[in-house]
Amino acid sequence: MSNAETAGPAAKRKPDISPERCDYTKFLDIVSSKWSALILYALEDGPVRFGEMGRRIEGISKKMQTQTLRQLERDGLVHRELTPSIPPVVDYSLTPLGRSLIGPLQELKRWASIHHGEVMQARDNYDRTLERAD
């Protein structure tokens, strides 16, 4: 308290929100990549093999599938089980930690399914209003 930094009358002064401290940022860090949630969904009903998963998720490449799975595995959300036969068999499944994410994720899907129309309409409106301003 030695510093003459006594706050002004408006009260709020110094930063109280930061990316590093925000838990939502931590969440994004884990599952904001394009394919991560999609992979979690594919695993929702039980273990799935790599190839099967690839066929179920439209448009994913082997590279992105592998890369995203590695991240999820590294974060402890997904378990990888290799059966070293020839050809090899690799099964992926949710860990308990991974499964604990399904609930919150479904909340978001609900929000989006309910409100996405409003968002699109707001965008339209915003864009058309700008056009008229030329």
Instruction: Give 127's Cβ-side CA count (13 Å radius).
Output: 6
Q: Which does 43 bind (CB under 5 to 8 A by kind): its own copies, DNA, none?
A: none
Of these, 6, 7, 14, 63, which contacts its own copies (CB under 8 A)?
14
Segment near DNA (CB under 7 A); pick from 27-35, 39-47, 106-114, 124-132: 27-35
Segment near DNA (CB under 7 A); pick from 4-12, 59-67, 105-113, 126-134: 59-67
d(CA 96, CA 81): 15
**Number of residues in the chain:** 134
> To the nearest whole angstrom, how small is the minimum distance from the Cβ of residue 1 to DNA?
26
d(CA 18, CA 125): 32
80 touching its own copies, by CB under 8 A: no
78 touching DNA, by CB under 7 A: no
41 touching DNA, by CB under 7 A: no
Of residues 92-121, those binding DNA (CB under 7 A): none
Tokens of 60: 């994913």
Amino acid found at 107: E
Q: Which does 50 bind (CB under 5 to 8 A by kind): its own copies, DNA, none?
A: DNA
Burial (0-12, 13-18, 19+ Cβ within 10 Å), 118: exposed
